[in-house]
Structure 1
């Protein structure tokens, strides 16, 4: 029995998902909504930095980065451009790569847990791993979007 027929009959799908869950997973709007959820912190941050470029520059300087204005501009372009690309089906893979790469670099700079001690180390390690999970989310979203587009 195919997945579509089993969902229509109320039986579990081929992958074992109950019919209501399979219907949600098959909903065409789920992919774009999930990508919007993943991209929203980056889009909001990029917009906030664009509207307060002085603050963005100060943030880069506070992290000890050279050429803080150039870094702030690159972050804004990456966050806004990556988000826009990630929300498309055609260029999702590129947006995912930009945002994932940005996340890895930013996490290594801002959440270097190995430089902390005690409770601060544990907190920074947790944040580091949360950001790593976001990178995994970008990879999964790009892969699913690519497969859906190819079919």
Structure 2
């Protein structure tokens, strides 16, 4: 029973973790490429079109990698890089005041928690049910 819970938990967790990254790329950044590029430029992101293209690639490759459990550590590293840069450029709460500061601090902390999640995936891998680990492999994670 414990093994079943670990297997279901690792798969469900990877699906839930990946959802935000894939939705961000496919539901926002790609369909609104011009507007997102303008927003990035206004926030001081260098080469915003190039950086947005890279961000989309990292989000899709990293999100797909984590959800499938294929090269999970690498995919989590891509998402970690994305999170560090996005947090630095867009959630610099120390430059805001009042309610805006509070909102940016919440977004900063949310991203910090996602960074922690990526570090856990990098450290521990995807779990037993993944493309990184064949079902016949008896090692524990």
Alignment of 1:68-147 (within 5 A): 68-145=48-125
Which string of whole-angstrom CA distances, capped at 9 and with x for unpartnered residues, describes residues 29-66 of structure 1? Answer: 32122111111111111113223322332232232223
How many residues were matched structurally? 130
DSSP-derived class of the 2:76 partner: helix
Q: Structure 2: which 5+ runs fail to align?
A: 134-138
Q: Structure 1: which 5+ runs fail to align?
A: 1-6, 8-21
Shift of residue 69, structure 1, vs aligned partner? 1.4
Q: Does 1:41 align with 2:41?
A: no
Check the 8 A contact 2:58/2:82 in 1, yes or no. Answer: yes
Indicate how the Cα distance of structure 1 residues 147 and 107 shifts in structure 2: closer, same or farther if over 3 A, else same: same
Alignment of 1:57-68 (within 5 A): 57-68=37-48
Check the 8 A contact 2:14/2:126 in 1, yes or no. Answer: no
Q: Does 1:30 align with 2:14?
A: no
* Larger radius of gyration between Structure 1 and Structure 2: 1
Cα distance in 1 for partners of 2:127, 2:9 equals 14
DSSP-derived class of the 1:87 partner: helix
Note the aligned Cα RMSD (angstroms). 2.3
TM-score normalized with structure 2 length: 0.77
TM-score normalized with structure 1 length: 0.73
